[in-house]
Amino acid sequence: MRVLVTGGAGFIGSRLVARLAREGEEVVVLDDFSRGSEANLKELEGTVRVVRGDVRDPRSVGEAARGAEGVVHLAALIDVAESVEKPDLYFDVNVRGTLNVLESARSAEVFVFASSAAVYGNPVRLPIAEDHPLRPLSPYGATKVTGEALVHAYAAARGFRPVILRLFNVYGPKQSRAYAGVVAEFVKKVLRGEPPLIYGDGTQSRDFVFVDDVVEYFVRALRMEEVRGIYNVGSGKAVSVLELAELVAKVLGRPELKPVHAPPRPGDIKHSVADISRAVRDFGYRPRVALEEGLRVTAEALAAELRAR
């Protein structure tokens, strides 16, 4: 299968591209390298085709999408706080960009869209199932709601198989320096001998899922004909941010580094945990990497990266 991966040099994208290439798929990457890194694709030189371009540029998108039978659309801006400050930019990249990819993907038989738990906003019930009301609290979340609607509309018109993966808090090695999730931020702080910084009181909860488990869902979304529609991708387990900070310090052997607090950030939700029963049933897969194990792998990779600088 020829597969286009937008954002293929990024955190999730580069691991997905490596997996697909290793398993014999013909992979085309579209990335402008504004947040993704060329280093993430260095080991794949000669095995994947890379188109340097912006999803906002129809010409670049058209070149990359030509002949693609499968599309994974990961390219997006994803920082909630930044989206509050720059809503026009987020609309342009995340909505206009998604529209451009859909317009160009005329040969696609399956379109996998990376959405986000941010579409739900503050939940009215936990865990959050796919039929939960969509009440985003940030422009970022709103752009993902709009992107989902566009995917559904184009699937109805074109007949491709749509798969929308609502990602919860994905963590692991190689998270973008421009946007590092809370796990990477805590790990980097502790590695430098600094206390983790928590926005708010730390009682807010999140659902953390390791990047390799997320990649497995993307691979199966491309290949499993019976999979279509919307799926939550998380661990199904809630962990408070305070618990996470303490666990990171413990894993790194610095339990004395107690977190410090700052005011809550606008757009942040209070609690989030996924009901993953639909994904487990349809994909035949349940995330396998435990949080403590994933934190060790992430910490080792970040420590090596910091030493190399």
HSE toward the beta carbon, residue 121, CA cutoff 13 A: 12
**Taking a C-beta distance cutoff of 8 angstroms, is the pair 231, 283 a contact?**
yes
Q: What pLDDT is recorded for position 176?
A: 63
Same-domain status, 134 and 248: no
Q: What pLDDT is recorded for position 177?
A: 55
pLDDT category at 180 given cuts 50, 70, 90 is: low
Active site residue 140: yes
Same-domain status, 75 and 186: no
pLDDT tens readout for residues 184-206:
899 999 999 999 999 999 999 99
Tokens of 247: 């666990």
Phi-psi group of 284: left, alpha or beta (phi > 0 → left; psi -120 to 50 → alpha; rest → beta): left
pLDDT tens readout for residues 39-49:
999 999 999 99
Same-domain status, 121 and 192: no
Q: How far from chain centre, in Å, is Cα 290?
A: 18
pLDDT tens readout for residues 50-70:
999 999 999 999 999 999 999
**Calpha distance 60→289 (Å, rounded):** 36
Same-domain status, 218 and 115: yes
Residue 257 has pLDDT above 60, yes or no: yes
Tell how many helices (H) and how many strands (E) occur in the chain. Answer: 11, 13
What does the buried/exposed string (b/e) look like for 117-147 if buried means 16 or more CB atoms within 10 Å of the residue's CB? Answer: bbbbbebeeebbebebeeebbbbbbbbbbbb
The pairing of beta strand 239-240 with beta strand 205-206: antiparallel
Domain membership of residue 186 as a residue range? 171-206+237-308
Same-domain status, 80 and 222: yes
Residue 232 has pLDDT above 60, yes or no: yes
**Calpha distance 281→291 (Å, rounded):** 22
Catalytic residue, chosen from 140, 171, 217, 231, is: 140
Same-domain status, 133 and 275: no
**Calpha distance 90→146 (Å, rounded):** 12
The total of structural domains in the chain comes to 2
What pTM value is reported for the model?
0.95
Mean pLDDT score of the chain, rounded to an integer? 95
Query: What is the DSSP annotation of 109-157?
Result: SEEEEEEEGGGT-S-SSSSBPTTS----SSHHHHHHHHHHHHHHHHHHH
Same-domain status, 150 and 281: no
Give the CATH number for residue 10.
3.40.50.720
* Residue 26: count of CB within 10 angstroms of its CB: 17
